[in-house]
A and B are shown apart, each in its own frame.
Chain A
Amino acid sequence: MEETLRRTPLFELHKSRGARIVPFAGYEMPVQFEGIKAEHQAVRDKAGLFDVSHMGEIWLEGEDALAYAHWLVTNDVRGLNDGQVLYTPMCRATGMIVDDLLVYRYGTSKVLLVVNAANHDKDLKHVQENVRGKVTVTDRSYETGQLALQGPLAEDILSRVSGGKFAGLPFFRFAEGDVAGRRCLVSRTGYTGEDGYEIYCPNADVVPVASALLEVGEPMGLKPIGLGARDTLRLEAKLCLYGNDIDETTTPLEALLGWTVSFDTGDFNGRDALLRQKEQGVTRKLTGFTMEDKAIARHGYAIVAENAPASAQPIAHVASGSPSPTLGQNIGLAYLPTNVSKVGSAFGVVVRDKVMRAKVVKTPFYKRPR
């Protein structure tokens, strides 16, 4: 049965700008406009505008909203101030990752969860089925649009259409206010490794807000960006992609997201399992590597021990892999056994039946100059 794909409010605008549209997480989304490399570079050097309206917005309201959010995810929601945003995995009782998400703390009785589009249905079910205390769960995913404005010029561009209201917003804080005359929720967050914002508004306001940003930003170098460059940007910054780097067979500790697991601030779903894994130590770690031979590692390719033949039993598989436009190298991530996960360790990636040499490097691959 063919599923009908959803469209975001910006679909027609994308088409008019020559976007190549692909199915992604149940939506028809732009994968590229001008070209992945040019778009990638625009975000690193100037600014890029992303349509991320496919992301899910799930609201928790009621007197136990905050307490429930704290139990649902591994990071410390209770330790936030109102107006702060938190990146966190959400785990099963087994410690395996249901999704990674952003938590927006409005107050003790109001919390927003922003989840991956591909996981929207199972996340909503998970959040509804585990409710503890007095909490109302409201899914506003299909009525909410989202834009990401990313890059060194993001602050300047947003300021020009919002009277400078969000210029002083610190990293991982949010505020509500007008952008191009439309009421928006704006957070200083992103998925590119650059400074920037994520902007939420009702569907009806997405086109006017996006158009205003483009009108002001394009003369400064702002470009519309597709999912292709979104992926290369996030990989260089070593930001996990659910489905590639993390899923229901991996834990936050293996994914080196230990900093998002707050063992000492009360109970949360998956705590026992994760504490056990922490005590025993992980046997594999999500590790960054670059290709030494001329080859591109891609998701799913087998990894073999150094000097082993292509037919050897794989010791891991590539989680994410891609050319890195910024580094000019071919980079990747994989869950390597801890004995080969140290910087400088060598191994092979099987590319079309040939073993290509790779070595472990420090991550993130790219860190923005400050």
Chain B
Amino acid sequence: MKIPENLRYTKEHEWAKVEGNRAVVGITAFAVDQLGDITLVELPAVGAQIKAGDTIGTVESVKAVSDLYSPLTGKVLEVNAGIDEAPEKVNENPYEDGWMLKIELGRPDEVGSLLDAAAYKAHLANLEE
């Protein structure tokens, strides 16, 4: 399963790509595989202030409903309108076209507490045991 080296992860299967004081956020290939065909994604409003660990949206597949948690604290700059139109993009490419939101970091120090790719890989290995 694809786990890009340049991203940070949560134990709840979100990823964050941090660049300066901004981050792009999405869900991992593992999350997508667990959910199956994604049919609806609810995201926070642009401008919303969100906190790390908050429930900020919902990802629904044909059979399942899953909460989306914010990996980081900050302000929502943009949400991916493309996945509103075509939620299957999240299945097809969760790390690129299937991104969910961009945030301006309110607490850049939080990045250090996210998992790196190796730690996330180890977390998945634990889950599968």
Contacts and interface: CB of A to CB of B under 8 A. Distances in A.
A312 B61 CA distance: 28
A37 B62 contact: yes
A352 B36 CA distance: 21
Interface string A140-157: 000000000000000000
Contacts of B62: 36-37, 228, 232, 322-323, 325
Contacts, number: 30
Contacts of A352: 58
Nearest to A322: B62
A37 B87 CA distance: 13
Contact of A36 (B37, B40, B58, B65): B37
A32 interface: yes
B39 interface: yes
B63 interface: yes
Interface in B57-116: 58, 60-63, 65
A243 interface: no
Interface in A30-62: 31-32, 35-37
Nearest to B62: A36
A36 B40 CA distance: 15
A165 to B, nearest CB: 36
Nearest to B55: A352
A296 B37 contact: no
B29 to A, nearest CB: 14
A349 interface: no
Interface string A266-310: 000000000000000000000000000011101000000000000
A322 B37 CA distance: 12
B36 A295 contact: no
A232 B63 CA distance: 9
A32 B62 CA distance: 11
A244 to B, nearest CB: 13
Contact of B63 (A228, A294, A295): A228
A228 B61 CA distance: 11
A32 B35 CA distance: 11
A296 B63 contact: no
A32 B36 contact: yes
Question: Looking at chain A's contact residues, is the secondary structure mostly helix, strand, loop, or mixed?
Answer: mixed
A296 B61 CA distance: 9
Contacts of B61: 36
Contacts of A296: 39-40, 60, 65
B61 to A, nearest CB: 8
Nearest to A38: B37
A37 B63 CA distance: 11
Nearest to A354: B42
Contacts of A36: 36-37, 61-63
A352 B63 CA distance: 16
B37 A35 contact: yes
Contacts of B58: 352
A104 to B, nearest CB: 32
B37 A295 contact: no
B36 A294 contact: no
A269 B100 CA distance: 56
A277 B37 CA distance: 42
Contacts of A37: 37, 62
Nearest to B60: A296
A352 B62 CA distance: 17
Contacts of B60: 296
A31 to B, nearest CB: 7
A298 to B, nearest CB: 7
Interface string A146-175: 000000000000000000000000000000
A298 B36 contact: no
Nearest to A298: B65
10 contacts: A35-B36, A36-B36, A36-B37, A36-B61, A37-B37, A228-B36, A228-B63, A296-B40, A296-B65, A323-B40
Interface of B: 36-37, 39-40, 58, 60-63, 65
A-B pairs with the 4 shortest C-beta distances? A37-B37, A36-B62, A323-B39, A36-B37
